[in-house]
């Protein structure tokens, strides 16, 4: 075996808060959130407020990172 044989990451990458939220939601609600995340009419701040009013607390910065694919989910 070569020098790099068996090279693996130290820790598996977990999804970000939005990714975990998508996994925890009912499938129909997850689909609605996926559509909102890709809908350019939603700003991260607006979506954060709308989700918060339904009991789902997530910051605009966390949503922005997920929407722009710079969160941990983009590495999975």
Q: How far apart are CA 1 and CA 69, in angstroms?
A: 36
Contact indicator for 58, 3 with CB cutoff of 8 Å: no
In a domain, 49, yes or no: yes
The predicted model scores a pTM of 0.82
**Tens digit of pLDDT for each residue in 37-53?**
999 999 999 999 999 99
- Residue 29 sits in which domain range? 17-75
Residue 1 binned pLDDT confidence (cut-offs 50, 70, 90): low
**Count of the separate structural domains present in the chain:** 1
Query: Is residue 62 very low, low, confident or very high in pLDDT (cuts 50, 70, 90)?
Result: very high
9 within domain boundaries: no
Residue 7 lies in a domain: no
Look at residue 3 and tell me if it is in a domain.
no
């Amino acid at each position: 075996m070569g020098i790099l044989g068996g090279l693996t990451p130290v820790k598996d990458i977990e999804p970000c808060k939005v990714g975990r939220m998508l996994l925890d939601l009912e499938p129909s609600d997850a689909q609605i959130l996926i559509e909102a995340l890709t809908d350019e009419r939603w700003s991260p701040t607006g979506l954060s407020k709308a989700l918060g009013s339904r009991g789902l607390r997530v910051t605009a910065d966390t949503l922005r990172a997920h929407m722009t694919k710079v969160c941990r989910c983009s590495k999975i």
